[in-house]
Amino acid sequence: MLHIGEKLRTARLQQNMSLRELAEKAEVSASLLSQIENGKANPSVRSIYSIAAALSLPTTYFFPDGQDGNESPDETLETSQMTPSAVRAMQTEGLIESSDLFPDQPQRSHGPVVCRSGRARIELMGGVTWERLTPGPEENVEFMEICYEVGASSGAKMSRHSGREFGLILEGELTLELGFESYVMHAGDSITLDSTIPHRMVNTGTVPVRAVWVVLDRGQLGF
């Protein structure tokens, strides 16, 4: 019985795809793929989904044939190995809920105020962070502060999903590719966009970007 890593290497080589090519297409890190293939990392179910989609394979291809629980993929969401657009794809398929995406706040508020030190925070691949500005999950809306390090982007390619987004740039320079247009936003600029239009965001400036972002339709985050 083949392990997940061996199955991954076999499928990748059969499609004449390098680790770097597969990583870019699946929007996970090449180092994570290498670790999985060499049995040094146990992928999450959500990572398996992303990789399977990139290889045009069903997710069941990677699951062990037997019932040995020790060989089951880890259910933990490894956001540090996922780009914002990869997370968005997981949400589109209903594989990620807000309760999965954010851990509990380190100092959870029992009232309406969330102290800066008490925000729920996640780090994504490539230097992107999201911080939730509400005490807990809110139905159909996300209210966040997002940060893009210099050169960081929402993903290698443009993507789209349901919903509507509103953003205010606090610091830095953020370029939004929206459909066939491109917009460069600076501190103080705001944006409203239809998330069904293909879009991508990248920090093209020389300092980190900080922005406040609101997304309607919580199941389809779009950063």
The domains found in the chain, sorted by start residue, are 4-71 (1.10.260.40), 79-216 (2.60.120.10)
Q: Report yes or no: 150 and 206 within 8 Å, Cβ to Cβ.
A: yes
Per-residue pLDDT of the chain (223 residues; tens, 9 = 90+): 357 888 899 999 999 999 999 998 888 888 889 988 988 887 776 678 788 888 988 777 776 543 333 444 444 556 776 788 877 766 666 656 666 677 666 666 678 899 998 899 999 988 999 999 998 888 888 899 999 999 999 988 888 878 899 999 999 999 999 999 999 999 999 999 998 899 999 999 999 999 999 998 744 444 4
Distance CA 158, CA 162 (A): 14
Give the distance from CA 164 to its chain's centroid: 18
Distance CA 78, CA 6 (A): 21
> Residue 162 corresponds to which tokens in the numbers above?
């349901």
pTM of the model: 0.69
Work out the number of other CB atoms within 10 angstroms of the CB of residue 139.
7
- Among all chains, which residue has been given the structure tokens 């780009």? 83
Q: Are strands 164-171 and 190-194 parallel, antiparallel or unpaired?
A: antiparallel
- Among all chains, which residue has been given the structure tokens 């069941």? 60
pLDDT (0 to 100) of residue 166: 97
Q: Which helix (H) or strand (E) holds 100?
A: helix 98-101
Give me the DSSP letters along 163-188: SEEEEEEEESEEEEEETTEEEEEETT
- Among all chains, which residue has been given the structure tokens 């609101």? 214
> Residue 67 corresponds to which tokens in the numbers above?
């019932």
Beta carbons within 8 Å of 116's beta carbon, 6+ residues apart? none
Give the distance from CA 116 to its chain's centroid: 22
What one-character DSSP code corresponds to residue 44? B
What's the first-to-final CA gap in the chain, in angstroms?
40
